[in-house]
């Protein structure tokens, strides 16, 4: 049961990185691909119906960790609480900005909220990347699972590499998604930008996987890491041919293989100790009681299909491309 929930949590993080990845990417690229107000509204509208639903995966991932592995949750969150705080503030800032940018018919007003969207869209993947890298690469925790050192103990070159890896993936994923969901000039610019960014932006992810595999990889996690490189190359090759849908699917395969390689190398640990391997938290040692795991398994068995069906239906309803011709004039609610 403990191994099952370890896999479930990895799956939840996978869903979050795939769905919220393009969400963050669109926000990061807002001033780059959106050259005027109409084009920026097109970009925001590509994620408008789904961005808040994508965050459900994060909430469930954190909640599942708390329920299934309270020791993992307590040691990780308390050790990296500063990045977690920045991450939460970034999510709040994005949400407020999406809702408020159209409330006043003012160029300056919209520009300020657009700036909030951009800054928060960069901060969120950087900090969540640091969080996941800290989980996989380890933290300075003692035998009781407490942090040893300063609140910045999680900031190391390898965890910062993890932050860059998730951010780079989100940047390319967002450009591919924009090319998939838009038409006209925005689509062409997004496609060209993704092709230019990919070699540099995806490099940190490949280096991170190499570091993790050298330290604690196995044959099958090495295979997953190699698949990441192959899928990313294939995604860009299909994008160059104008096959945005296939490229988007291959970007999904890229993150599937990456999460598999990372969490596969982590198992059977859930949080390695960089002080002494004997202090590492393991799947068996950090798990809740068998009764608790059984209860949350039944809850997940009934709740998960409903969430998947609803979210899938949302994406189906809003599947069509949009362009500037679909954007009506600015409407400001009456006071």
Look at the alpha carbons of 71, 76, 79, 81 in this order and tell me if their dihedral is positive or negative.
Answer: negative
- Alpha carbon distance 10, 156 (integer Å): 23
Our CA dihedral for 254, 260, 262, 268, rounded to 10 degrees, sits at 180
Summarised one tens digit per residue, pLDDT across range 229-270 is 999 999 999 999 999 999 999 999 999 999 999 999 999 999
Look at the alpha carbons of 146, 148, 154, 156 in this order and tell me if their dihedral is positive or negative.
Answer: negative
Using pLDDT thresholds of 50, 70 and 90, give the confidence band for residue 142: confident
Smallest CA-to-CA distance from 324 within 40, 54, 71 is with 40
Between these two residues, 90 and 335, which has the higher pLDDT value? 90
- Alpha carbon distance 75, 147 (integer Å): 7
Query: How many other CB atoms are there within 10 angstroms of residue 235's CB atom?
Result: 27
What's the confidence (pLDDT) of residue 334?
Answer: 53
Q: 78-82, 209-213, 306-310: which has the highest mean pLDDT?
A: 209-213
- Alpha carbon distance 133, 34 (integer Å): 32
DSSP 282: E
Summarised one tens digit per residue, pLDDT across range 174-222 is 999 999 999 989 999 999 999 999 999 999 999 999 999 999 989 999 9
Averaged confidence pLDDT in the chain: 90
pLDDT above 80 (res 152) = yes
Least confident among 23-32, 188-197, 321-330? 321-330
Six-digit token string for 18: 């795939």
Q: How far is CA 281 from CA 162, 218, 270, 289, in A?
A: 20, 20, 6, 16
Q: What is the CA radius of gyration of the chain?
A: 20
Average of per-residue pLDDT across 34-51:
89
pLDDT above 90 (res 327) = no
Query: What is the full DSSP assignment across 48-97?
Result: TTTHHHHTHHHHHHHHHHHHH-HHHHHHHHHHTHHHHHHHHHHHHHHHHH
- Alpha carbon distance 284, 320 (integer Å): 46
9 and 64 Cβ atoms separated by less than 8 Å: yes
State in Å, rounded, how far the first CA of the chain is from the last one. 55
pTM: 0.92
Using pLDDT thresholds of 50, 70 and 90, give the confidence band for residue 330: low
pLDDT above 80 (res 329) = no
- Alpha carbon distance 160, 131 (integer Å): 10
Between these two residues, 224 and 321, which has the higher pLDDT value? 224
42 and 34 Cβ atoms separated by less than 8 Å: yes
Between these two residues, 166 and 334, which has the higher pLDDT value? 166
Buried b (16+ CB within 10 A) or exposed e, 164-193: bbbbbbbbbbbbbbbbbbbbeebbebbbeb
What's the confidence (pLDDT) of residue 328?
Answer: 75
25 and 251 Cβ atoms separated by less than 8 Å: no
Using pLDDT thresholds of 50, 70 and 90, give the confidence band for residue 1: confident
- Alpha carbon distance 135, 73 (integer Å): 10
pLDDT above 70 (res 332) = no
What's the confidence (pLDDT) of residue 333?
Answer: 54
């Amino acid at each position: 049961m403990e191994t099952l929930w370890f896999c479930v949590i990895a799956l939840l993080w996978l869903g979050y990185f795939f769905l919220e990845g393009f969400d963050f990417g669109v926000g990061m690229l807002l001033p780059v691909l959106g050259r005027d107000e109409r084009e920026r509204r097109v970009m925001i509208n590509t994620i408008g119906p789904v961005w808040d639903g994508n965050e459900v995966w994060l909430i469930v991932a954190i909640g599942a960790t708390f329920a299934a592995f309270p020791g993992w949750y307590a040691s990780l969150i308390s050790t990296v609480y500063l990045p977690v705080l920045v991450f939460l503030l970034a999510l709040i800032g994005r949400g407020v900005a999406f809702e408020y940018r159209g409330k006043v018919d003012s160029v300056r007003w919209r520009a300020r909220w657009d700036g909030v969207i951009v800054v928060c869209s960069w901060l969120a993947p950087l900090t969540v990347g640091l969080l996941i890298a800290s989980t996989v690469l380890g933290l300075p925790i003692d035998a009781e699972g407490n942090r040893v050192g300063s609140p910045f103990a999680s900031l190391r070159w390898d965890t910062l590499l993890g932050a860059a890896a998730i951010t780079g993936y989100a940047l390319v994923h967002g450009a591919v998604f924009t090319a998939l969901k838009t038409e006209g000039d925005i689509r062409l610019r997004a496609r060209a930008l993704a092709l230019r960014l990919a070699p540099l932006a995806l490099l940190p992810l490949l280096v991170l996987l190499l570091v993790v595999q050298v330290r604690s990889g196995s044959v099958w996690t090495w295979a997953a890491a190699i698949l990441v490189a192959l899928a990313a190359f294939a995604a860009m090759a299909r994008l160059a041919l104008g096959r945005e849908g296939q490229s988007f699917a291959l970007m999904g395969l890229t993150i599937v293989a990456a999460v598999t390689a990372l969490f596969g190398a982590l198992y059977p640990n859930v949080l390695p100790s960089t002080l002494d391997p004997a202090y590492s938290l393991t799947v068996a040692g950090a798990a809740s009681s068998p009764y608790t795991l059984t209860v949350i398994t039944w809850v997940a068995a009934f709740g998960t299909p409903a969430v998947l069906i609803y979210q899938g239906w949302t994406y189906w309803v809003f599947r069509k491309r949009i362009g500037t011709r679909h954007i009506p004039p600015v409407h400001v609610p009456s006071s």
